[in-house]
Chains A and B, each alone.
Chain A
Amino acid sequence: MGGPEIERLIALLARLPGLGPRSARRAALKMLGEPHRHMLPLAAALTEAARAVRPCRRCCNLDSADPCTICADPARDQGLICVVESVADLWALERAAVHRGTYHVLGGVLSALGGVGPEDLSLPALQARIAEGGVQEVILALSATVDGASTAHYLADRLQGSGVALTRLAQGVPMGGALEVLDDGTLAAALRARRPA
């Protein structure tokens, strides 16, 4: 179409989540149209990020600092750890700005089909953090799926007797959610978790 360089660029872009061959071609064309404005800064940012960003050895978050900025923040409650499945979940909680403690990124959930076993999760690092002392509560903020709940039960079993309070996220009606459009599972969970008005 336009030489092997362009084909390679499109092929690499098309591998990214959210992009298919068609959208990869559009992105490539946009960048090639103004390489100094789009392409070179992007290339520099990619190189810099690949060089600097690493998993935090404490919580497994991605950051250019180790420990990450969240772990190193003195304003954060170090006794409160929110366990999440992925960095994407951590970012979602940070966007909401509702959690003022620290995090621990598990790196997935137990999944027989996905080939994810306990040894693939960053559980030893979490246990080491708890063993250091000072942790009062661990919040299991995992997805409300069969795999997510199984992982939460597994973690609860493993952390039982560690002396920290274990809590889980509530399930129920989302903000702005009309009951008539909710799925049956969410409705059932909401009804079971009802509380005094």
Chain B
Amino acid sequence: MSVLVKSLHFEKLTFHYEGQEPLLKNVDFEFPISKRGVQDNAAACRALDKRGTASSQQARVVVIRGAQGAGSSTVMQILAGLQTPTLGSYLINGVPVENMSFEEFLPFRLRMGYGFDTGGLLSNRTLFENLVLPLNYHKMYSPQEAEKRVLALMKRFQLINFKDLRVAYVSASLRKMTVLIRSIIMDPEILFLDDPNIRISKEAQQMYAELLRELINNGTLHTIFIASFEESFFSYFDYTTIYLEDRQLFNTERSRQKIIAISQ
């Protein structure tokens, strides 16, 4: 399977929620994503595995950091096509997303996974139904295969005993884990994780990081964007950091000290 998303670019992008100050203002930014082909990526991972080195180094892990409320979650939502810029453009492979219809954006959407920070599960469905819905809807697997895949993942993350319960009847940590599993259920090539570490234990975070490494090794997942304030999750990977400060995005370490100071 060839890589579909080759570049992500903000062009003079401004974004604000209705009646609020802009979170992003006139931003020009090229996001770093893995430029390798999937074949090369997988081969490189295998080579690294033989040497016993962490294979995740072959994927691009990009951490978006900013002070609390600065808008790093909003940047993720724009990147995943869940929010439309107020002004300016968000370009995927050089094509403005805001001009695309839902159907035109769908091929990109199906190659992206999104892990919500809070909410994001269908409340009138069980955990199992929430996970199996995208697979059955897009007919990516036969219904039996989809069920088998979902059950295997639920077993791995100890959700199997809660599979027939609706969202409101399980704890916040189980909901969060379900959201994280759903983000990778369709084998995305780009994954957006909004605060993946909140509400889940260290062990669960580690298990999820392991799963992501497997997907990278399989050659499907090639770029992971993480919006997080704490290092507990992204420290499992080698990562590049993008800083969000003064409504602008920076690749440099310009504001790192300041952000660390705020977080302390």
The judgment on whether A and B are partners is no
